[in-house]
Structure 1
């Protein structure tokens, strides 16, 4: 729920210097039919946990590329966008073992952990978006999930059922909707001027549930682009554990995010968003047969860079 608030107008506005001041900026999604973009998400994260005195480290890198084509703009300025997975590149380094996949240069053998993601290139999603960035509907998610599940080639078993359930949580309509709405989650909901700040609280459902409290500041405007600083606090709820088959995993972690978002003012798209994050805490695992619950420390740090590149038609 967005709760914009202003910490004070610029001095020029306070003095009524209209000739040099910019009009307040109203950020909204305004995409023209026929326009096309390349949507790129580049993520890296280092995860560390210490179990029974042994440190375990996992370095992850993921590059996702989509074609982002604006098909229609209709009643109430609702836009219809076609998202097509163009490229998937993944690397997981456990230290003693490395698994990699790149759809632009696919290997002869695909590691089982990569097969679901490897099925994504060519998949299309049709999304209806409002000017506030709200997702009104998505078509194609079930077909995408069916492709991912088939690519895993898992025999019928309780383990398969759990894997499928996890996939539907991580890549289902709710998760896709949330990831698309996060692209424009920085919108203040009212006109803002340079120096103004506003807050927003969201919940992440992918991975383990976390509450994200963000504060934004419009730092500058130049050449049709707006620069926005963001700082966030992250919190998990240890009373809301994840279920993985017979196991429950309760995370008690907190952390922060900082970054800069560069916005194209006429479209409202974040043409570049760079966010760094870190969090640390503990996880409590229960449900292992004939064993007591276990608790160990975990931490993570990384970055996410999102870009939109306009394509000529």
Structure 2
């Protein structure tokens, strides 16, 4: 090769090398774009019947609202277990209990339905739109408590926008309300109750309330979920579940406010005294009676659970002449 032709050959060799580099870079970039595209497609995939929800910091995580009837022939049919906090079903399922099975979370981390992974927390003041119950007039003694619980999404209307405050509450409905309203720490293993099938609408709430000590079985292996909650059971439940301190005052002094003091079962006396001294009792101070075996009304249960929220620092006290101060 002549000396004059060598520089031209060098230039062609350099150009070929640059072309090879560009082709290689383009190939690598194409592979990366293809891989990332598949990755984001997987991330954004939404299962049929679901919608992706981007949740703001102040949003309430609601598993299933229990209010209007889903199946008029079955008052407790169709309640589904709440999904994970990042996805909500496009439709909600409910029944006629009026107890909203919802998760609203305060300073402590609460657990999902399986008492396992922690769920998203939101500020204590988070509320939903107020509900006007047609059978709870402004003069009704428990209206302030009912209104506050409704604003927190813990109770919902029954048929005809009613609350039915004077009707009794079943043990299952009470478990659902407890599970929605109060933090529950697992303290014990829940036994298998022979009267609770796997398909029972409040099974998860009942198991959680038993594990946390709020509720116990009756007669060993029975829970009797559809049986009415009695007033003495309500007092005993709140005492156990909230781990209240025993009364430091003479029992006769604390229980002297009840006109039927002698009807309180001896086994329930410490619990009634502790709940009374903790300020959880609501009622007419002029005619206050425990009536231990009478079914607790929906208004009484909701009011005392609200007082429990106040005790735990998760709600503001309500000034009411029906809030009994021992």
Flag whether TM exceeds 0.5 (same fold). Answer: no
TM-score category, normalised to shorter length = under 0.3
Larger RCO (CA under 8 A, 6+ residues apart): 1
| Greater strand fraction, Structure 1 or Structure 2 | 1
| Greater helix fraction, Structure 1 or Structure 2 | 2
With normalisation by structure 2, the TM-score equals 0.26
With normalisation by structure 1, the TM-score equals 0.26
